[in-house]
Every structure is written in C-alpha cells, then in structure tokens.
Amino acid sequence: MKLLLYGAGAVGLGLASCLLKNGQKVDLIGRGETVAALQHNGLQRTGLFGDCTAAPESFGAFTSLSELPETQYDFILVCTKSFDTRTSAEQIAAIPFLKNASTPIVLCQNGWGNAEIFAEQFPTSRIKSGRVITGFRRPQKYQVDITVHADAIHLGSLFDDDISGLEILSSAIDAGGIPCQVTPTISKDLWAKLLYNCMLNGLSTVFDVPYGLLGESPHTRELMETIAHEVFAVMTAAGNATHWSSAEDYIDTFYKHQLPPTYNHEPSMLQDIRAGKRTEIDALNGAVVQLGQQHSIPTPANTTLTRMIQFMESNIKPT
C-alpha cells in the first residue's frame, strides 16, 4: 500500500512507524523543522511496543501537499490537532489528484466534529474515523515514544456501514506493532474517548498533575463526575450513544478499569500549555458546550473548564 499521513506530530509518527515497520510506502506532511529532522535522522520509535527505526530514504517527508508527486494513495490519514481540521480539509481538497480520487480519508484526531468538517469538502463515503487511545510522546522531532496503551486502535465510519475496505489498513497497523481493529461502533468508541478526555485532560492541565491524582481527591472526583453527567446528557440529546447506558455505569468503569493504568499519564493538553501552544479544548469540553447550546442542555462544569483553559491559552507568551 501507499499511504499519505497528513500531520507528523506524535500520533502521525506513531502510526507511520507501524506502517513502515510492516513494509508499507509512506509519505508524511509536517512542519519544516520536523521534516528536516526526519530527512536527516529517519524515524525512530521507542516505548511499549519495542524499538524500531526507518531510514530517511525509506519514506517521503514534505512540508506541503503541493510538493507531492501526483500519485494514487490507498489511504490518507489525518493526524493533525483538531483545531487544524478545517485547514487540513481545505488544503487536501485544494490538490486536484487528492480531491478527485476515491481514496478513503481516515481522521485520527481527538474530539468530536472533525468528520462533519471534512464532509463539507468530501463525500461522506470517503470519510472514516479512527479512535486512538494510545499515548504518544515526541522527545525529538524525528522520534516517537509510546508511553501508554489503553486499548486497540479502532477504525470505522460515522456515515455508512461500508467499513470492509479498512481491514487492510487495520492489519498493517496491527502487524507494525500497535493493536488495531475495524469496528461498526466507532461512534460509541469516539464518545467513550470524549468522556474520558473531558473528565481528565482539562483538570489535569489546570492543576498541573497526572491523571491519577485527580481520582484521589473527593473534590476533583466530584468535578469529573459532574462533567461526565453533562457529557452523557448532551450526547443523548444529540441522538448519540456510547457503550454504557448511564453516566453512573461509565463512572464505575472509569474508576475501576480506565484510570488506574494511566495513573501517571500527563495529557497532551498539559504538554501543549507548558510548551506555549494552543490546546484542543474546543474539540473536547468545548464541543460538549457547543452541542449543549444546540440542544438546550446546560453544561456549567464543561463551560467553566473550557473557559479556564482558554484563559491559560490567552496568556501564553509568544516565542
């Protein structure tokens, strides 16, 4: 297969490492410093699923889609931050051989609402979604470290039932080291991930602590549980569902099974604030707030947390 990965951050490099290890042909689109580092050093992966290296000449690295030679890709994987989703969709759509192809576009991003943005530019039959709850860290521009793994990567569609074509991509990622599978319930998976991220990421960032400490205090437990109840109310009002029938059922699973394995994990949101970068709060708690407004569901806890993170972003000093 030949694959285009749009976004060479931690997630993009993590997925690329699997595909390259499995012998697939990969082109990466990234920022200038990242592309230069990849072209000089190759791609290195460390962490939970073992070390592996791809030589610089074994893959393509470009700073712009306009640099790509016209070719037929089997898949396009979008691995950008959620706040870059609209720009990503517009830039891919601006390249005729990418716009006019039938290539599936797999969105491997955080949050809710990314697929709807891509649907403004592409037929929904081309748009697929990936749920990634593996923790990636990028110590160097050319290196990705896998620090946490909660479950297999899931691939599916929010718009139709035709997901059989994703099996070849799933098998390639899985064979490259990270468990991956195709599922007909990707919407439920994405809402489960949204619940988890909304409960933890913002609070971890505000208090500058790893996930586990939030579960030890009755004060932060109450906040997390209130956030979960609001997310469930909004999700239900919007006509969606997840794998648990109530917020209480999810919260029980959260404390017993999801939080303990990620006790020491720090979210990318906290890392972004420390690095003086924009966060994905608008696609997480902010998306819950927006959907709540559309369906007349109050979301005071999610709104407050969103505003707090937005305040932290507004005080980032330009470098």
Q: Do 21 and 148 fall within a single domain?
A: yes
What's residue 272's pLDDT?
93
Q: Do 160 and 18 fall within a single domain?
A: yes
Q: Do 200 and 136 fall within a single domain?
A: no
What string of pLDDT tens digits covers the 319 residues of the chain? 999 999 999 999 999 999 999 999 999 999 999 999 999 999 999 999 999 999 999 999 999 999 999 999 999 999 999 999 999 999 999 999 999 999 999 999 999 999 999 999 999 999 999 999 998 999 999 999 999 888 999 999 999 778 999 999 999 999 999 999 999 999 999 999 999 999 999 999 999 999 999 999 999 999 999 999 999 999 999 999 999 999 999 999 999 999 998 899 999 999 999 999 999 999 999 999 999 999 999 999 999 999 999 999 998 765 4
41 is in which domain, residue-wise? 2-183
3-state secondary structure of 94: coil
Q: Do 158 and 193 fall within a single domain?
A: no
The domain boundary residue, chosen from 149, 183, 217: 183
Q: Do 101 and 80 fall within a single domain?
A: yes
What's residue 161's pLDDT?
75
Residue 105, in any domain of the structure: yes
Question: What secondary structure does DSSP assign to the chain, as a single string?
Answer: -EEEEE--SHHHHHHHHHHHHTT-EEEEE--HHHHHHHHHH-EEEEETT--EEE-GGGSEEES-GGGSPS---SEEEE-S-GGGHHHHHHHHHTSHHHHSS---EEE--SSSSHHHHHTTTS-GGGEEEEE--EEEEEEETTEEEEEEE-S-EEEE-SS-S--GGGHHHHHHHHHTTS-EEE-S-HHHHHHHHHHHHHHHHHHHHHHT--HHHHTT-HHHHHHHHHHHHHHHHHHHHTT---SSSSHHHHHHHIIIIITGGGTT---HHHHHHHTT---SGGGTHHHHHHHHHHTT---HHHHHHHHHHHHHHHTPPP-
Q: Do 146 and 283 fall within a single domain?
A: no
CB distance 106 to 301 below 8 Å: no
Residue 297, in any domain of the structure: yes
Q: Do 155 and 206 fall within a single domain?
A: no
Token duo for residue 196: 């988890």
Residue 99, in any domain of the structure: yes
Q: What is the CATH number of the domain that holds 144?
A: 3.40.50.720
If one counts every other C-beta atom within 10 angstroms of the C-beta of residue 66, the result is: 9
Q: Domain count of the chain? A: 2
Q: Do 225 and 158 fall within a single domain?
A: no
What's residue 16's pLDDT?
98
Q: Do 161 and 65 fall within a single domain?
A: yes
The secondary element (H helix, E strand) that includes residue 117 is: helix 114-118
Rounded Cα distance, 156 and 162, in Å? 9
Q: What is the CATH number of the domain that holds 245?
A: 1.10.1040.10
Pick from 126, 106, 137, 143: nearest CA to 6: 106
The secondary element (H helix, E strand) that includes residue 134 is: strand 134-140
What Cα–Cα distance (Å) separates residue 79 from each residue in 16, 76, 122, 211, 316? 10, 10, 17, 24, 24
Q: Do 279 and 152 fall within a single domain?
A: no
Q: Do 229 and 269 fall within a single domain?
A: yes
Q: Do 37 and 175 fall within a single domain?
A: yes
Q: pTM, whole model, 2 decimals? A: 0.94
What's residue 318's pLDDT?
54
Residue 319, in any domain of the structure: no
Residue 111, in any domain of the structure: yes
The domain boundary residue, chosen from 157, 183, 209: 183
What's residue 196's pLDDT?
96
Pick from 205, 210, 216, 175: nearest CA to 281: 205
The domain boundary residue, chosen from 166, 183, 200: 183
Rounded Cα distance, 188 and 70, in Å? 36
Pick from 244, 238, 150: nearest CA to 192: 244
Whats the size of the chain, residue-wise? 319
Rounded Cα distance, 98 and 81, in Å? 21
